[in-house]
A and B are shown apart, each in its own frame.
Chain A
C-alpha cells in the first residue's frame, strides 16, 4: 500500500500569504473539481476536475515554439493568433513548458501529499506562535476525500492550524471522517430555499444544511460565510431564515458576509467560458449594510469580508 505522503490529488493553485481565508497568515491550497456550479463562482478554474490548458493570445510573441512542442497537434496558428483544438488537447503542458512569454497555461496538476506538504512547509515560519496555518479550499476539497484526509492528518502531525473552506456538499460519512482533523470549518450558506439553491448552484441544500447541523451539534468549530449575491439570495426572507438557522446552531455566534463582485469575469474569459453572472450587479454598500442589519437582528455578529 502506498504511504499517505505519496497519495495524489489534483490542485489548481497554492497561494502563499492568503489574508482572507481564516485567522492570521495562511497558505491556501485550492482543490480542483466541484460538484456545485454556483452562478457567481469566483474560482471557475476549480469547477472541472482534471487539468485544463488555455492560452492568452495577447501575450503570444509568435515564436512558434509551442507548435513544434505540442505532441498532440492540438495547436495551430491562425494569423497572429493561436487556436487550440480542445478535443485533441489533453492539457499535457508541453506548450506552457516552452512558451517564453507565458501565453500558455495549464491549470490543474497532480500533486502528491508530500509535495503539497513541502510547499506548505515553506510558509510554516509565519504560523509560529499565531493562529495562522493552512486553508484547504477549491473547488471542493471534499470531492477528493482521501487526498484531503491524508493532507489534514499530515498537517496536524506538524502542528499546523487547518481550516477547510467547503460548500458542505458531501456524504456525511466523508465529513465524519475528516471533521476530527479540521481545526476550523469555513462553511458557506448560499441559500435556505431548496429550490432556489438548486437553481443557483445546481444541487439541493438538504444535505448541506443537514451536515452543518450535525457538525454544529458535534461541536466542530464553525465560521459561517454568506456570499451576498444581489437578486439571488439577498432578499429579506432568505436573509432572515439564514440568520435564524445560523443562530440556532450551537457554538455559532457570528457570520461573515462576502459581498459579490465581478472580479472573476476575466478568469471565465481566459477559460473560454461564458460568465453566468453577467447580469448580476456587484453588491453595493447599501445592500451589504441592509443584509448585515437583518442578520444582526437574528442575534448574530456580522463581519463584512473575511
Chain B
C-alpha cells in the first residue's frame, strides 16, 4: 500500500457517516419553481442538471480519482421526492446506536422549514402508502413481506463495457439520431419518446458539466499548489475530467474516472437499490491495462494505486439512510456495490486476466467494508484464480464471495436472454442475477415464507397479535393429513403473492410516471433505442424479483410436523400449536425433541430435502411468470440479506424448535445449527434445489481459520467449490471465524453446531468438543490470528 493510499484509506475509514441536506434543498427549490412546466422526464433531467451545476464539490488532497456525491466523504444526501424524512426520522438517524448518520440541529430545522412542507403528501412513499389496500398494510405490518420501493428507487444497476468505448457526446449523437427517426404519424408513443430522449440528452450534458466543474477545481488547486508533484497530478486530473465522461476514455486512469463519474451520476439522480456496480471491472479495464503496460505509460504499481483510489471512493459512499422496516431488512452502511472478477467474456472465453489478480491484491490489502468483491468461476476459469481468491477468503473478511458463472448464464438463458448478454451478465448486490448494462432487474421485497406456514397453522391469523391477516384456510387441528396442511400453506402463499404483486405493479407505474431516471437510461441498453425510461421498460430485459426468505426454517418446520404429528403421531397438532403459542414455555423436552429428532435440511437427507424441493417448487409455481407492468414477468430469488433477522422477530415459535423472535435461516443456508454432517452434506442438500430456475441463491459456510491454514487446505476448499458448482450451485461464501464467535458458540452451542474446527490432524465440530478442549482451541486460534 502506498503512503497515499494508506492516508486516503484511513480518512475513509475514520470519516463519520453524516447527512447532507444540500440535494434536498436544491431539488425542493427546483420542484417549487418548475413543477408543471415540463414533462416529468425532462423535469427529472433538469433537476439532475441543476444538481450537477450547483452541488458543492470535493477534491481532497492525495486524491487521483475525484468526485463525491455529498460535500465530503461519507456524507450522504437525501431523496425527499421518494421518502421525505421527518424531523423525528432525522433525529433517530442521528442518535440510534446502529448505522448512525450525523445530522446537525440547523439542518434538521432547515429541513423542517424548507423541505418537509413541500414533500409531505407528495413523496413517493406518502403517495404509495395512501393508496395501498388495508389488507396489504396489515400483512406488511405483520412482517409477511417487505416493500423495496418505499424508501429507495427500484434498482440493480450494473454496467457492461459500453462506457469504455463511448462518451456522453457519443450518447448524445445516438439520442439525436433516434429523435430523427421518431415516427409521429404511426407511433402513438412518439411524443412520449421524444420527451424521454430530450431528458436523456439533458442528462448527458449534466454529467459533462459536473466533470468540467471538477476540472476547473483541479486547475484552481493546481495554481496555488506549491508541491510540484501534486501540482502535476492536479493538472492531470483536470485533463482527465475535461476528457471524460464527454468522450470515451483513452487510458487506464480515464477509464476509472469515467466509471466513477457515471457511478456518481446514477446515485445522485436517484438512490436506486444497490447503488451501482461496474460489473466485470477486470474485463472492462484489461485492455487499458495491457495498453498502458505495453506503451510504458502505466506500471503495475500505478494501476494498483488508481484501483485503490476507486475502492476508497466506493467506501466513501455509505448507503442512503434508511428508517423503519427497510432499515431492519438492510441495516448496514453497505450499499452493495459488487464488483465481479473472472467469469467469461462475451465470446465465452475465460474472463480472468492479470488484472483480476491485481484487483484481488487490492481487495486483500484495503480490507474495506465496500465495495464487495465476488469471483466468478466457470469451468474455464483456471484453478490458479480460484486459489488466489481462496487465499483472500482465508484472511477472514467473508469475501470475495464465489459464483458459478455457468449457472448464472443458464439462469439467464432460461428466461430468454441471449447467450452473449447472459455471459456479459453476472451478479450484483448480494447474489442477484442480471444482464449487466441491459436489464432492469428489480427486487420488489422479501417474502417471509415461514410466516406463510404460521398463517396456515393458525387459520390465517398472526400468531403474535392474533390479528386475522390471511384467508381462513381452516383449523389446523382438523387437518387429517400432512397434505391438508400443505394445501393450506399453498393457499396462503398464493394469496400473499397476489397481494404483493398487485401493489408492486401499482408502485412500478408510479415510478414510471413520476420518477423516471434519464441519466441511468443513457447507459443501459436499449433505453435510447426504445426511447423509453429505465423504469418504463426501456432496458432490453426487465425482471421483477420476489426474494423468498427462510427456506431452511420452513422446510425444517414442515419436516418436524410431518415426522412427529403425522408420521409417528407422537405429538398431536393441538399439543404442538399450544406449545408454539406459548413459545415452548415448560415444553423444553418437546422443543428438544422437535429440534433433535427431526430430519432437517442441510444434511443430505432426502426426507427433509424433498420437502425443501416441494416448497421451492411451490414458490416457483406461485411467483415465476406472473406479469409485471412492462410486458415481462416476475421471477423467484432466494436472497435474505439481513431480513431473516427482522422476519424472525416477526415470527412466533416455529415447529422446528426455534423460539419466537429468533432469526430465520439465511438465504438458502440451512437453519442455524441444523446441518451436522459437514459441508459436503450441506452442498448436496442445496444442490437438490433447481437453482437454475431462480435469480440467485445464497449459501453461507462458516469455517475456522485453522481449517484453511495450509495451501493444501485451500486446494480442498477449491475442490468443494468446484463440486458444488458442478452440481448446479449458484453461490457460496465462507466465513472464517474468530475467537469472538467461538465464545458465542460456547454460550449458545445449539446455534453453532455447524462450526467446523481443525483440531489437529483432523477436523471436528467445535460444539462437540468438551470445554477444556474448546478452551484449548480458542487459545490456539488466538495465536494463529496473531
Contacts and interface: CB of A to CB of B under 8 A. Distances in A.
A306 B761 contact: yes
B769 interface: yes
B162 interface: no
A125 B727 contact: yes
Interface string B730-765: 000000000000000000000000001011111110
A17 B681 CA distance: 8
Given A122-B604, A126-B720, A265-B770, A19 B713 contact: yes
A175 to B, nearest CB: 23
A267 to B, nearest CB: 8
A266 B684 contact: no
Interface stretch (A145-153, A154-162, A255-263): A255-263
Contacts of A236: none
Given A24-B719, A61-B589, A100-B597, A263 B760 contact: yes
B772 A16 contact: no
A240 to B, nearest CB: 23
B589, B679, B710, B769 pick with most chain A CB within 10 angstroms:
B589
Contacts of B758: 19
B241 interface: no
A190 to B, nearest CB: 14
Contacts of B678: 15-17
Interface in A222-268: 258-259, 261-263, 265-266
B590 A19 contact: no
Nearest to A268: B770
B707 A263 contact: no
B259 to A, nearest CB: 38
Given A258-B761, A265-B770, A266-B770, A101 B726 contact: no
B223 interface: no
Contact of A25 (B588, B590, B720): B720
Given A20-B761, A20-B763, 10 more contacts: A16-B677, A18-B762, A24-B716, A25-B720, A42-B760, A125-B727, A259-B760, A262-B776, A263-B769, A265-B770
A130 interface: yes
A281 B655 CA distance: 47
A65 to B, nearest CB: 8
A203 B545 CA distance: 67
Given A15-B678, A306-B761, A100 B593 contact: yes
A217 B590 CA distance: 60
A56 B736 CA distance: 30
Nearest to B727: A125
A20 B680 contact: no
A25 B716 contact: yes
Nearest 3 interchain pairs by C-beta: A266-B770, A17-B678, A100-B592
Interface string B569-597: 00000000000000000001110110011
A130 B719 contact: yes
Given A16-B681, A17-B678, A19-B763, A128 B723 contact: yes
Q: Is chain A's interface secondary structure helix, strand, loop, or mixed overall?
A: loop
Contacts of B771: 266
Contacts of B467: none
B720 to A, nearest CB: 7
A258 B762 CA distance: 10
Contacts of A123: 680, 684
Interface in B706-720: 707, 710, 713, 715-716, 719-720
Interface in B536-557: none
Contacts of A265: 770, 772-773
A263 B597 CA distance: 28
Nearest to B777: A263
Interface string B651-687: 0000000000000000000000000011111001000
A54 B677 CA distance: 21
A171 interface: no
Q: What interface size band does chain B fall in?
A: 35 or more
A126 B713 CA distance: 15
A3 to B, nearest CB: 25
Interface in A83-111: 100-102
Contacts of A52: none
A130 B720 CA distance: 11
A248 B772 CA distance: 42
B496 to A, nearest CB: 34
A132 interface: yes
10 contacts: A20-B762, A24-B715, A61-B589, A100-B593, A125-B684, A258-B760, A258-B761, A262-B773, A262-B776, A263-B776
A17 B680 contact: yes
Interface in B506-542: none
A18 B681 CA distance: 12
A276 B764 CA distance: 22
A126 B710 CA distance: 20
A180 interface: no
A266 B769 CA distance: 7
Contacts of B677: 16
Contacts of A259: 760
Interface string A266-306: 10011000000000000000000000000000000000011
Given A19-B713, A63-B589, A125-B727, A102 B596 contact: yes
Given A20-B761, A20-B763, A126 B719 contact: yes
A125 B728 CA distance: 12
Contacts of B604: 122
A21 interface: yes
Nearest to B710: A305
Nearest to B596: A102
Contacts of A125: 684, 723, 726-727
Contacts of B769: 263, 266
Contacts of A65: 589
Contacts of A258: 760-761
Contact of B707 (A16, A19, A27, A306): A19
Nearest to B715: A24
Contacts of B762: 18-21
A57 B727 CA distance: 42
A218 B759 CA distance: 35
Contact of B596 (A100, A122, A128): A100
